[in-house]
Each structure stands twice: as structure tokens, then as C-alpha cells.
Amino acid sequence: MTRRSAPIIVITGTPGTGKTVHAQALVDASPIPLRHINVGELVKEKELHDRYDEEWQTYIVDEDKVLDEIEPLVADGGLILDWHTCDVYPERWPDLVVVLRCDHTQLWERLEKRNYPLNKIQENNESEIMQTVLEDARESYPEEIVVELRSETTDDLESNVSRLVSWIENWLRDHSGGGEE
């Protein structure tokens, strides 16, 4: 695999955990240019789905189409992939997988504010309690690249972004110049 000039960071978590807010804050704070791809929005914009499910108020995603759309961007790196699932990406893509976590009561309130239907709120809340996204990440990627972060307060957001900026700086230092991979 060719060397990338910038890392690929996956920010994942149950809907409502703050993925998009974190991704945008990281783009703004990053020492290098990063491109934030909100995969859920990409699915809608590029019609990377089979249909819309009215009951669950969600698109039935065609994961192959999603991967085909993102693949050409992976070579150079410098991506933040923001989506509620992560195990669809090939293991070789991410340099870091950030799983955002939130107290289930707070998560319920966030999803209610989004006007999610009750069945969707219940399913997502159960997913958060059962650590579904975290377990998927741990099963799909090397242990050393999966990081679990709390996402409940503004202080959490600021601390997480600061930690991720430090991680990017270290990645750049470790991947600069010659030497072996």
C-alpha cells in the first residue's frame, strides 16, 4: 500500500452521540486539512441506497455503493468518515476508529429532539446500552486503533478534539520522511 500523506479517521457511534459535531470541530482544529464526509448525507446526496423505509424513517443503504464512492478518496488520506456504523470499511482504511459514547438517558433526549419515532429511539438506545457500535469496532479493527470517548458535555467535546489533534500530530511525526512503514 502506498503511503498516505494524512490519516483516515473514522468517527462512529450510535445516532445522537455527537459524531458530526466532533468531526466538524476536528476539521476546524486540525493542524492539517481534513475532509469530513458525513456518510449518511452522502448516501442521500448520491442515492447510495435501495429505498427509504418509512417505518424506521431511514434509507436502506447499499454498502457496496458507499464503498465505491469513498474508495478513490482513501489513497491520499486526510478523511474523517462520520457514520453510525464502522464495520463496513475495509480494515486497511482507518488509521484511527473513534467510538463516541453517551449516557442512554441523555441519548434518548437527543433523539427525541430530532423527532425520531419511538421505535427508532428505543432501538438506538438499546444499541448504546449494549455497546453495539463499540463491539463492532473492536471486532473489525486492530485493538490499538479503536478508541472509546465519552460525548456528553461541551467539555467532553473540547477534550476529545484536543486529544484527536494530538493524535494527528503524532501520526504526522510517525509517518513523515523516509524510513520503513
154 is in an annotated binding site: no
- What would the grid cell of residue 120 be? 427508532
21 is in an annotated binding site: yes
Query: Is-contact 93 8, C-beta < 8 A?
Result: yes
43 is in an annotated binding site: no
16 is in an annotated binding site: yes
40 is in an annotated binding site: no
Three-class HEC string of 123-156: HHHHHHHCCHHHHHHHHHCCHHHEEEEECCCHHH
Residue of 13, 6, 11, 15 whose CA lies nearest to 24: 11
Q: Helix, strand, coil shares of the chain as percentages rounded to 5?
A: 45, 20, 35
Please give the annotated binding residues for ATP, written as ranges: 16, 18-21, 114
Q: Which residues are annotated as a binding site?
A: 16, 18-21, 114
